[in-house]
Structure 1
Amino acid sequence: MNWYLAVLKNYAGFSGRARRKEYWMFALFNIIIAVVLSAIGAAISTQIPYYLYLVATLVPSLAVLVRRLHDTGRSGWWFFISFIPLVGFIILIVFLASEGKPETNQHGANPKLAPAV
């Protein structure tokens, strides 16, 4: 849960780097919360809580995605490869799942070597 809250605290931080664990733990909690809100919405016959949650987490989700791409040595603009039909999303998932660069790059120092927040 700390990884999820850390991403929300860095709400619109598009600079820097994000570890794989930070990104995937945020994605996991994001999916769990979205499924629970969707189920609640189905029970009360409205999806308003679900849509409000999606809107509220849109910017933090994009920010952590861009920071994750920075960790792999890529620009945040690589996000747009996901719009290529069929293969773009797969390529983006491979980028997000790949190991970060161990050395310091133009986006900052290796977050694995940084002290825990």
Structure 2
Amino acid sequence: MTFQDSIRIGFSKYADFTGTASRPEYWWFFLFLVLGSLVAMALSFWLSMVFSLATIVPSLAAATRRLHDTGRSGWWLLISLVPLVGGIVLIVLLAQEGTSLARAEG
């Protein structure tokens, strides 16, 4: 999966919270979101706000599909709300290898 493919899939499935997303698909899309945010912040506060609002649903959908690939529910995204450790736990969950069962179902 290439960088461009993951961006295309990320936005074409912008509100698709079903199915799965492979590790490369998710992390390339995540890299695009981080780089886009940095560029937008460097240019203008308002541009960064627009970029953030435009990418919040696609980023949540991609993370949910990634969790599905690891055999977990999208509700695991809520663990990031736990102070200090929640974000770390979520990164570990998102970085895990997908299960063959989840790929067969999704």
Give identity over the alignment, percent.
46
Structure 1 spans left out of the alignment, 5+ residues? 42-46, 110-117
Structure 2 letter corresponding to 1:67 = R
Report the CA distance between 1:37 and its aligned residue: 1.0
Paired with 1:59 and 1:85, the residues of 2 have a C-alpha distance of: 22
Structure 2 letter corresponding to 1:66 = T
Kindly indicate whether the alpha-carbon contact (under 8 Å) linking 2:10 and 2:58 is maintained by their aligned counterparts in 1.
yes
Which structure 1 residue ranges, 4+ long, deviate > 6 Å from structure 2? Answer: none
- 1:7-29 deviation line (CA, Å, top 9, x unaligned): 10111000000001111000001
- 1:25-61 deviation line (CA, Å, top 9, x unaligned): 00001111111111111xxxxx111100100011000
Matched, 1:108 2:105: yes
**Alignment partner, residue 80 of structure 1:** 78
**1:20-31 pair list within 5 angstroms:** 20-31=23-34
Paired with 2:76 and 2:36, the residues of 1 have a C-alpha distance of: 27
Higher alpha-carbon Rg: 1
**Alignment partner, residue 54 of structure 1:** 52
SS in 1 for 2:101: coil
Structure 2 letter corresponding to 1:30 = L
Q: How many residues align?
A: 103
TM-score by length of 1: 0.83
Paired with 1:8 and 1:102, the residues of 2 have a C-alpha distance of: 25
Report the CA distance between 1:104 and its aligned residue: 4.2
Q: Which structure: greater helix fraction?
A: 2
**Alignment partner, residue 5 of structure 1:** 8
RMSD over equivalenced CA pairs, Å: 1.4
Structure 2 letter corresponding to 1:37 = A
Report the CA distance between 1:66 and its aligned residue: 0.4
